[in-house]
A = this chain, B = another copy of it.
């Protein structure tokens, strides 16, 4: 179909590097196409041909860079998680060193990410895990690892917060982090099914209040003002 983009790469000027052919760019295009398509339709409903077409590449290129469909799937999951970690990490960066405030910022960042116009309500990690955890051991393990990495990050924040602000009611940092992670995944699933991204924001707000309630001596707090 529309191979124009890459045809240019074949006979036109160079892409990124100094060679006419930029293998890293091709690989990246394939991975990003895979991320998009799988997020839109799921793993099994996405074909290798579709990925190739979306990336402006051919089957030859595809199987040159990836041994199998499963291989690009793993690459896609890792790429996605790296990207998301970077995205949410930006919200945390430098502004404050109070872990509680950083957590608050992160929650705001998560809510903002689903509200972004044109952004589809879907987490690649959750979709791949849901579809393959029961049947593909390798992919399941990879998803578990990614999920764990994200949870450890949040748990670290929570542990810091506990040290800095001794909580009125103690709680397990990892348990709380898994709660947040589970809620995040479930919220995306429900929001996608309802076609209502606001559900994610509402649920995160509950989570925020639940967590803060452990630190303050008062009851679940009234909703705080955020950016209008």
Residues in chain A within 8 A of chain B (CB atoms): 39-45, 120, 122, 126-127, 129-135, 140, 143-144, 147-148, 168-169, 175-176, 178-179, 181-187, 189-190, 192-195, 199, 202-203, 206, 210, 213-214, 217-220, 222
| 29 A-B residue pairs with CB within 8 Å | A41-B134, A44-B44, A44-B131, A45-B135, A120-B134, A126-B130, A127-B131, A130-B189, A144-B193, A147-B194, A169-B219, A169-B222, A175-B206, A178-B190, A178-B199, A178-B203, A179-B202, A181-B190, A182-B189, A182-B203, A183-B186, A183-B203, A185-B185, A185-B189, A186-B186, A186-B189, A189-B189, A210-B210, A218-B219
List the 6 closest A-B pairs by CB distance, nearest first.
Answer: A186-B186, A44-B44, A182-B186, A185-B186, A130-B130, A182-B187
Give the chain B neighbours of A147 by CB distance below 8 A: 190, 193-194
CB distance from A63 to the nearest CB of B (A): 22
**Chain B residues, CB < 8 A from A131:** 42, 44-45, 127, 130-131
**Given A126-B189, A213-B219, 14 other A-B contacts at CB below 8 A?**
A44-B44, A45-B135, A129-B189, A130-B192, A133-B192, A143-B193, A147-B190, A148-B194, A178-B190, A181-B190, A182-B187, A186-B187, A217-B219, A219-B219
Do B44 and A42 touch (CB < 8 A)? yes
B135 touching A42, Cβ below 8 Å: yes
Residues of chain B within 8 A of A219, CB atoms compared: 168-169, 213-214, 217-219
